Amino acid sequence: MFEKTLMAGNIAIAEGAISAGCHAYFGYPITPQNEILEHMSKRMPEEGRVFVQTESEIAAINMVHGAAASGCRAMTTTSSPGFSLKQEGISYLAGANLPAVIVNVMRGGPGLGNIGGAQGDYFQATKGGGHGDYRVIVLAPATVQEMMDFTMLAFELADKYRNPTIVLPDGFLGQAIEPVTMRAPVTKLPEKPWAITGAVGRAKNIINSFAMEPINDQPRIELIRQKLERIRQDEVRFESINLDDAALVIVAYGSAFRSAMTAMQMAREEGLKVGIFRPITLFPFPIKPLSDLSRKVKRFLVAEMSFGQLIEDVRLSLGADAQVELVNQFGGVPMSADEILEAIEKIMK
């Protein structure tokens, strides 16, 4: 039905959003995701939709707030430093139960860092980088096709739970060019009677995240907590490869997962029984599947492009007697399959 085309990851995000019926996009230039802003500046007006290049990432996330509150599917994309600037806005979106999609094409950091791909925003993205009791759904693509598909999925989950949802690729994936199959555009968007659309023939709608009296605020937050429980139960996604006979399991996502795949194949050729467990939802983190796995397998190797963030969640999920090693690069330096293979050999030989 839809032909395959070659596309960069960043463009796949933009086209995924358009296919998902994203009506409003607000962006600010920051490498390595400028192509999304540029592509949307051309395509959104073509589709008769809203595009604004904003004065800051802060303005962009607050424009997402306005668009989402008025019932439109809305997205903003950025990279690590910009993602930090958006945290207050994301907390407001969560506090006001607003659906929105935020894409963070991660780069080396902290501070100004550099424009190389990295995974150093794991904590910020998955633990809720803003203030207050909330979490956000976090999807981690590892291919250009997934950049498109997970952006579309993000809109669906955001609307389903009325919660901000993050797509978390890194700079390498943003720039990578791979074949992609376009998806059928979403035509049926969910009804949003709660939205700010003008009080015509109904009582007024108010969207806020405030109650002067704490005792009135708690019920609001309790609803958010219950929603997160449902998300934890129903939305966990992960991928298992060669786990049946695995003696060592690599845990990795995004670009690190791609290097791990090659390393696993090389290790298998050397007769080493290696498997991979790939979290796709970084929140809700696949705790149970990992802890089940640890009954059978005792040795784990976390491969990530940060100085050790994913590894904390992996350790939390595994039993006390599981042995967890780390192989990593960070600061924008890519991780090669050879480094992972070396780590595998050191553990298994």
Partner 1 sequence: MAQLEYNELETILYQKPEALEEHPFHFCPGCGHGIALRLVAEIIDELEIRERAICVASIGCSVNSYEYFNFDGLESAHGRAPAVATAIKRCHPHLIPFTYQGDGDLAAIGTAEIVHACARGENITTIFINNAIYGMTGGQMAPTTLTGMYSTSTPAGRKPSLAGYPIRVCEMLSTLEGTAYISRVALHSPAAVRKAKQAIKLAFRTQLAGLGMSLVEVLSPCPTNWRVEPVKALEWLAENMLPYYPLGEYKVIDAVAALKKEDHHA
- List contacts with partner 1 (CB under 8 A): 23-24, 26, 50, 52, 54-56, 58-60, 62-67, 69-70, 72, 74, 88-89, 92, 96, 196-200, 204-210
Q: How far is the CB of 27 from partner 1 (least distance, A)?
A: 13
50 or 182: whose CB is closer to partner 1?
Answer: 50
62 or 317: whose CB is closer to partner 1?
Answer: 62
Angle of the 57-69 helix axis to the 87-95 helix axis, nearest 10: 20
53 in Cβ contact with 78 (< 8 Å):
no
286 in Cβ contact with 236 (< 8 Å):
yes
Which of 335, 315, 176 lies closest to 260, judged by CA?
335
89 or 116: whose CB is closer to partner 1?
Answer: 89
Q: Is the peptide bond before 32 cis (omega within 30 degrees of 0)?
A: yes
Cα–Cα distance for residue pair 251/300, rounded to 1 Å: 7
Q: How far is the CB of 206 from partner 1 (least distance, A)?
A: 5
Question: Could you tell me the two tokens for 20?
Answer: 């998902």
74 or 276: whose CB is closer to partner 1?
Answer: 74
Q: How far is the CB of 205 from partner 1 (least distance, A)?
A: 5
Q: Which residue has the tokens 């809305």?
A: 74
Angle of the 310-317 helix axis to the 287-296 helix axis, nearest 10: 60
Q: How far is the CB of 195 from partner 1 (least distance, A)?
A: 9
Q: How far is the CB of 55 from partner 1 (least distance, A)?
A: 4
DSSP string, 114-164: -SSB--TTHHHHHTTSSSSS---EEE---SHHHHHHHHHHHHHHHHHHTSE
Task: Find all residues with CB under 8 Å of 155, minimum gap 6, and list them.
Answer: 17, 20, 21, 22, 73, 75, 99, 101, 165, 186
65 or 278: whose CB is closer to partner 1?
Answer: 65
200 or 215: whose CB is closer to partner 1?
Answer: 200
197 or 291: whose CB is closer to partner 1?
Answer: 197
- Beta bridge partners, 117, equal 107
Q: How far is the CB of 54 from partner 1 (least distance, A)?
A: 7
Q: How far is the CB of 83 from partner 1 (least distance, A)?
A: 16
